[in-house]
Amino acid sequence: MTFPIGPKEYERWRRRCVAGVGDFLMLVGIGAGVVMFNPSLAQLDERFWAKLSLMLCGILPPVWFWIEYHYIWLTAPKHKRPEIEVFKYGQQLSRNIWLAFSALLLALYFK
């Protein structure tokens, strides 16, 4: 399994889209961590921020994985997209990190 470089690399707009959404999801995750680790924020407004953080971190990543596959990877020209094994490997790593982070947030929410 080789990682895509050279002519197999995504076009510039696809890379920017993936990087932008990845950065946004990372900021949502950091915000959720700040809310959960700060008891005064987590309890504010009947735990609104804690609930919102859990909801966003639970829903947005799987939606992004679906969009990335169907609208970014599948629509890319075959010679400009990563091999399916490389793409699936990246998705699996991302999913595992997301699940671990979600479990941590749930543990903090119900402590």
Distance CA 36, CA 99 (A): 16
Q: Residue 103: how many CB atoms within 10 A of its CB? A: 10
Look up the pTM and report it.
0.77
60-77 tens-digit pLDDT: 999 999 999 998 889 888
How far apart are alpha carbons 32 and 51 in whole angstroms?
Answer: 9
Q: Which of 82, 87, 110, 108 is CA-nearest to residue 29?
A: 108
**Average pLDDT in the 95-109 region?**
91
